[in-house]
Chains A and B, each alone.
Chain A
Amino acid sequence: MNQPAIPETIPLDNLPSGRDDREGTGYAVRVPVLVFLVSAVFWLLVSSCLGLLVSTECHRPGSLTIFSNLPWLTFGRVFPAFQNALVYGWLSTAGMGVAIWLVSQLCNTAHRTGYLPVLSGVTWNIGVGVGILSVLGGGGNGRPLLDFPFHAAFLLLLGFLFFGIWAVVVIWNRESGSVYVSEWYIFAALLCFAWSFTTANIVLNLPLSSIGPAPGVSQGAIHAWYEKSLFGLWLAPLALAVAYYIIPKSLEKPIYSYKLALLGFWAWIGCAAFSGMTVFIGGPFPVWMVTMGIVANVLALIPVLAVAANFHMTTRSAVERGGSSLVFRFVALGAMMFTFYGFEAATNSLRKIGQFTEFTLVILGQNHLFLYGFCSLILFGAIYYLLPRLLDRRIIFEGIAEFHFWLSVVGFALLWFDLTMGGLIQGFGLQDAKVSMDAIGDLLKPFLMIQSVAALIIFAANVTFAITVGLILLLPGRVRNRSDVPETSMERTPEVTVA
């Protein structure tokens, strides 16, 4: 690789430069980043406990009377608690933590107002805790991923704003000249989350009769728009920002094409924003709203393929350099799942197919493909990448982390396959009026059983992950030698591209 000599402080448009160890500006924000990452791991454990519980209730609804007498353990409360813990507790918290580091690193700006991100982490976590307890206690709104009552959502928004304001200030005062791809995604995520979360909570959940809730079925449209924004324009950009940093960095190779990255970015923002309404195929809305969603889901294949091609071309012929590392494997597999998700979402949005998969476990599987397969895997990789850098330590727990990787992959693959197969059977059953709902329930039982097996494996994977993180945090490890960056066991040495 004959890269021209570049000074350390000026990043190329398509290669994140700068040292990302102790010398880098990311190291300066290690305290808030650790607050976010450690609490994210905690919420991951909470969500996997709730997920295991909810799955058990699903296949043994009658046999455990304890669930029927304790309102806070009922399926209809534990399921939203699980989903919210996963999305707001684990993915969003971890995503924000990594974003704080990335922003600081890429803007090459030492942190200013460093207390803001810490305050943000604390407020956000209190919001998540209050929200989950409220949902379990019977204060939920019955709107998927907007279940948190208004006061909890308000805490989340406050926590987010501290983070967002800090990020904008750092970006504003950046010392690096150009703006790297990861920063585009983080910036878009900031804007879209602030906008959609505020809108949705005010018009749907504000307990003031003069303002909300929104009239009639506009509630459904606003909700579908919010859910898609949350997935496509908050979680996805955060995960892609990580992938666009770690893939080139661990291969020591610039991103293949700046133009493809641009295309992938803008087309994705445009498509994701309009693709929400496909959850209501045949619903009580003007036809154009759903049609627009279908078109957007299909057009989203353009950015999905652009991103995939860019990663593929970057990775090609360079895999031997970083391809064997665990961090790279987590991130690359996660990025592949994004492509896979794009294809599944486009397929399920087509009217002829959607009428079978709508309302079924297929959609649950598709959502888990996104949340686990794509976002979680990338964030696992990011945390393994960051922790040693933040703590200035080597990771020596290769075996256990390797075990975590395989447990995650097996557990998730089983879950997706099971939900998709079960969902297709459910879908064909629902479309045939001669098959009674009771008969469909009976057909689904083995799938709900396997779902619990998968939930158990994922639970084990997440516990393994938490143990690894705990070990890295608590055991002193070997301090990195700055002048001679040692080869860690989790990744190949990221040689800084400096002449």
Chain B
Amino acid sequence: MNKFAHLFLGVFGLFGASWLAFVAYPYITFAGMQPNKDSNTGAVAPQGNPGTTEQGARVFAANGCVYCHSQFVRGENEGADIDRGWGKRRTVARDYMFDHYVFLGNSRLGADLANIGVRQTDPQWFYRLLYDPRSVHPESVMPSFRYLFRTQKISGQASADALKLNGPGAPRSGYEIVPTEEGKAIVAYLISLKKNYALPEAPEPAE
């Protein structure tokens, strides 16, 4: 191999082929995806999130949640994901077609979040988990995110989303612990994570 031209063409060809297969092909295919319209009911799925969750997705990204939480459910023959209640069916490409930021993840020190908004709908549950994970899951290795909350003096009525804490962790009387804007955004994002509609390419497995 005495000519750099051969070297260049060979590497260019091989790597270019992988670029076509794993960059160009998925980019084009998934950009042209259409939501599914049910022929009987006329329901369209997925609906997509109404724009408000993007800030939350950025908080999710910036704080590295993806390093412990995945966001995809494998089929019934590929793992215990469905048995664990992480979803009723496997997730497919169409589930993510409206998502601006997709965090599939490949670590599960924590639970899968593809359908966390189906399992938990109460913001208070998320606030408690983020503030003190071990009050929800005693053996959890999840870090607590107290910096997503602030303590403030109660003026007039207590805030609706103030944390309900008792015991040594509770704030002094007259004060309350409330989520910051970032805290609210990430919880709104997490609650929006639902893939509980039917898609023909991913039927729910029989019980």
Taking CB atoms, residues of chain A closer than 8 Å to B27 are 203, 214-215, 218, 222
Q: Does A188 contact B (CB under 8 A)?
A: yes
From residue 15 to 69 of chain B, which have CB atoms closer than 8 A to chain A? 15, 17-19, 21-23, 26-27, 29-31, 33, 60-68
Within the complex, the shortest CB–CB distance from A222 to chain B, in Å, comes to 5
With contact pairs A179-B4, A217-B26, A360-B108 given, residues A74 and B63 touching in the complex (Cβ less than 8 Å): yes
Taking CB atoms, residues of chain A closer than 8 Å to B110 are 437
Asked if A273 and B143 make an inter-chain contact with CB atoms under 8 angstroms apart, the answer reads no
B23 CB contact (under 8 Å) in A80, A138, A203: A203
| Contact code string B121-164 (vs A, CB < 8 Å = 1, else 0) | 00000000000011001111111111100000000000000000
Number of residues of chain B lying within 8 A (CB) of chain A:
75
Q: Does A171 contact B (CB under 8 A)?
A: yes
Within the complex, the shortest CB–CB distance from B62 to chain A, in Å, comes to 4
Asked if A282 and B79 make an inter-chain contact with CB atoms under 8 angstroms apart, the answer reads yes
Q: Does A221 contact B (CB under 8 A)?
A: yes
Q: Does B75 contact A (CB under 8 A)?
A: yes
Taking CB atoms, residues of chain A closer than 8 Å to B101 are 142, 213, 219
From residue 63 to 102 of chain A, which have CB atoms closer than 8 A to chain B? 65, 67-71, 74-77, 79-80
Within the complex, the shortest CB–CB distance from B155 to chain A, in Å, comes to 24
| Contact code string B89-124 (vs A, CB < 8 Å = 1, else 0) | 011110111111111101111110000000000000
Taking CB atoms, residues of chain A closer than 8 Å to B1 are 179, 184, 262
Q: Does B165 contact A (CB under 8 A)?
A: no
Taking CB atoms, residues of chain A closer than 8 Å to B95 are 284
Which 7 interchain pairs have the tightest Cβ spacing? A76-B64, A142-B61, A282-B74, A433-B83, A273-B18, A218-B26, A282-B78
Q: 11 more A-B contacts (CB under 8 A) besides A140-B62, A444-B109?
A: A58-B141, A222-B26, A225-B22, A281-B74, A284-B96, A284-B104, A355-B79, A360-B108, A430-B80, A437-B110, A445-B141
Interface residues of A (CB under 8 A from B): 57-59, 61-62, 65, 67-71, 74-77, 79-80, 138-144, 171, 177-179, 184, 187-188, 191-192, 195-196, 199, 203, 213-222, 224-225, 229, 233, 262, 266, 269-270, 273-274, 276-277, 279-286, 289, 292, 351, 355, 358-360, 363-364, 426, 430-433, 437-439, 441-442, 444-445, 448
Q: List 12 A-B contacts (CB under 8 A).
A: A61-B143, A76-B64, A142-B61, A142-B66, A184-B7, A214-B26, A217-B30, A218-B30, A266-B14, A269-B14, A273-B14, A445-B141
